Chain A
Amino acid sequence: MEFLPVQDVRDIVRLLGEVAVLETDLPGKRRFLMNGLAKLIRADFWYWVHFKDQAEGKEPSMFMFIDGGWKSEFQRMQVAAGTNSSAVKPINESWRKLGTGHFTYRAAEILPENFWDSCDLVQQYLKPAGIADLLGSNYPLGNNIYSSMVFMRSLGCPPFTPRDVCIAHVVTDEIDWLHRQGTDVPAAEHVNKLTTRQRQVLLQLLSGDSVKQIGKKLSLSNYTVNDHMKQIYHRFGVSGRGELLAQFLAGGTAVGNQG
């Protein structure tokens, strides 16, 4: 698209103007901006992760996680499970073919024709959770690390339009701090060394779940979850969840002492 309706420009300006005088820290501004952007493009749910793209065949490892708009915890879990499973592979492959720059796309449009509706991600994970269309934006931070935003619409809503893609792309492309500032790219190295199970636990840990909740969600005993947590803490050189969160939120410099 080469032009945007002035009404949309107004909405973008108003949103960014509000962010500019928000009396909160950077994570707060990010969350506010993401909520506003989701509203602008009429997305019902969104999540935002940083991930390190691995060699072919291996799934990307994710870290740093904020999200919003979920109607139920089930919905959120389904998306987390789906995007951490092999069901997300075809999308990652199509996305890689686009190139190494910042790309914003409707998942259905970068996949082979008619593939999206019948793919595992939709059939097994999204549809049962009442989620239909998916719009992704991957912003390269260097060293194979990407800042990735995903917006989704409820089942029954029309798909995202080129206008939605354009707005999401322009806002996320021009605001570099949205991706970089206060995020700890070296932390990716640590996440990378975790096992798949440990990464699943980490993801839940970072979203504030208790040991009991994590155990239930991942069908593990509390003892096993505690074991995974110990390994994770060890890997990041922290002695508890507070310190771990600080590493992810404040950019990893807050606590130092990485063992």
Chain B
Amino acid sequence: MDYLPVRDVRGIVRLLGDVAILETDLPGKRRCLMQGLAKLIQADTWVWLHFKDDAKDGLPVAFMFLEGGWQSEFQRMKFAEGTISPAAEAFNSAMREGCEAHITRRRVDLLPDKEWFSSDLARLHFEPAGIGEYLSSLYPLGDKVFSSIVFLRRLGQPPFSPRDVCIAHVVTEEIDWLHRQGTDVPAAEHVNELSTRQRQVLFQLLSGDSVKEIAKKLSLSNYTVNDHLKRIYQRFGVNGRGELLAQFLAGGQAGRSDPLA
């Protein structure tokens, strides 16, 4: 697209103007911007994470995590499950193909209807959770680390339009601090050293779940979850969840000790 309706430009300007005088910290501004952006392109849900693309098992390693707009915890779990399962591989590889620069793609740009609706990701994970179309923006931060933003619409909603792609792309591309500032790329190294199970636990931890909740969601005993927690804390050199969160949110500088010392 070469032009955007002035009406949309107004929406973008108003959103950014609001963010500019928000009296909050950077994560707060990020959240406000993402919520507003989702509204602008009529997305029901948004998820934003950083991931590193060189895990031993071929699955991307996600760290730093913000999200909003879920209809239910079930929906959220199905999405998280789906996107870190092998079912997401077709989509992930299509997305990363030639991703040297920042790209923003709709589901239909990556997988044609026929392929998508018969895929495991759609059938087993998205549809049962009432998730329909998605729009994904991948912003490379260097060293195989990506900032990834996904917008979702409920099942039954129309697909995203080229106008939606254009707005999401322009806003996420021109605001570099959205991706970089306050994020701790080196933390990826530690996430990378975790097992797949530990990463699943970390993912839930970062979203604020209790041990009990994590155990239920991952079908593990509380003892096992606690075991994983200890390993994760040890790997990051922290004594508890608060310190761990601080590493992810504040950029990892806050009170870090050498985990391998």
Interface, chain A (partner B; CB < 8 A): 1-6, 9-14, 16-17, 19-22, 26, 29, 166, 170-171, 173-178, 181
**Is B260 engaged at the interface, CB distance under 8 Å to the other chain?**
no
**A17 and B20 alpha carbons, distance in the complex (Å):** 7
Which interface class (under 10, 10 to 19, 20 to 34, 35 or more) fits B?
20 to 34
Alpha-carbon distance A22/B171, docked complex (angstroms) = 18
In the complex, the chain B residue whose C-beta lies closest to that of A32 is B20
Can you sample 17 A-B contacts with CB below 8 Å? A1-B6, A3-B4, A4-B3, A4-B6, A6-B4, A10-B170, A12-B13, A13-B16, A16-B19, A17-B178, A21-B29, A21-B181, A26-B21, A29-B21, A170-B13, A171-B13, A174-B14
A12–B4 contact, CB under 8 A?
no
Number of A-B contacts (CB under 8 A): 87
On chain B, the residues within 8 Å of A11 by CB distance are 174
Contacts of B17 in A (CB 8 A): 16, 174-178
The answer to whether B58 has its CB under 8 Å from any CB of chain A is: no
* Known interface pairs A13-B16, A17-B174, A17-B177; A6-B10 also in contact (CB < 8 Å): no
CB of A215, distance to nearest CB on chain B (Å): 39
Partner of B29, one of A3, A12, A14, A20: A20
Interface presence of B5 (CB below 8 A)? yes
Which B residues from 154 to 175 make CB contacts under 8 A with A? 166, 170-171, 173-175
Q: Which residues of A contact B5 (CB under 8 A)?
A: 2-3
User: Which residues B1-47 have CB closer than 8 A to chain A?
Assistant: 1-6, 9-10, 12-14, 16-17, 19-22, 26, 29
Selected from A13, A22, A176, the residue in CB contact (under 8 A) with B174 is A13
- When the two chains form their complex, are residues B14 and A175 in contact, meaning their CB atoms are under 8 A apart? yes
Whether A13 pairs with B2 at a CB distance below 8 angstroms is: no
Where the two chains meet, the residues of B that have a C-beta atom closer than 8 Å to any C-beta of A are 1-6, 9-10, 12-14, 16-17, 19-22, 26, 29, 166, 170-171, 173-178, 181
Give Cα distance in the complex from A26 to B20, angstroms. Answer: 10
CB-based contact A5/B173 at 8 Å: no
Closest-CB distance, B45 to chain A (whole angstroms)? 23
18 further A-B contacts with Cβ under 8 Å, apart from A1-B6, A3-B4, A17-B174, are A3-B3, A4-B9, A5-B2, A5-B3, A6-B4, A9-B4, A10-B174, A11-B174, A13-B12, A13-B175, A17-B177, A19-B20, A20-B175, A21-B181, A166-B6, A170-B10, A174-B10, A175-B14
Q: Which residues of A contact B178 (CB under 8 A)?
A: 17
Q: Would A6 and B170 be within 8 Å (CB), given that A13-B175, A174-B14 are in contact?
A: yes
Q: Are B177 and A6 in contact (CB under 8 A)?
A: no
Partner of B166, one of A6, A14, A176, A181: A6
| Separation of A1 and B3 alpha carbons in the complex (Å) | 11
Q: In angstroms, how far is the closest chain A Cβ from the Cβ of B29?
A: 6
Q: In the bound complex, what is the Cα–Cα distance between A68 and B216 (angstroms)?
A: 61
Known contacts A2-B5, A4-B6, A20-B29; decide if A9 and B173 are in contact (CB<8 Å): no
Contact B171 A13, beta carbon cutoff 8 Å: yes
With A13-B175, A17-B174, A178-B17 given, is the CB distance from A6 to B2 under 8 Å?
A: yes
Query: Known: A3-B4, A17-B175, A20-B20. Is A173-B181 also a contact (CB below 8 A)?
Result: no
Tell me which residues across on chain B come within 8 A of A177, comparing CB atoms.
Answer: 17, 20-21
Q: Chain B residue with minimal CB distance to A171? A: B13
Q: Which residue of B lies closest to A21 (CB)?
A: B177
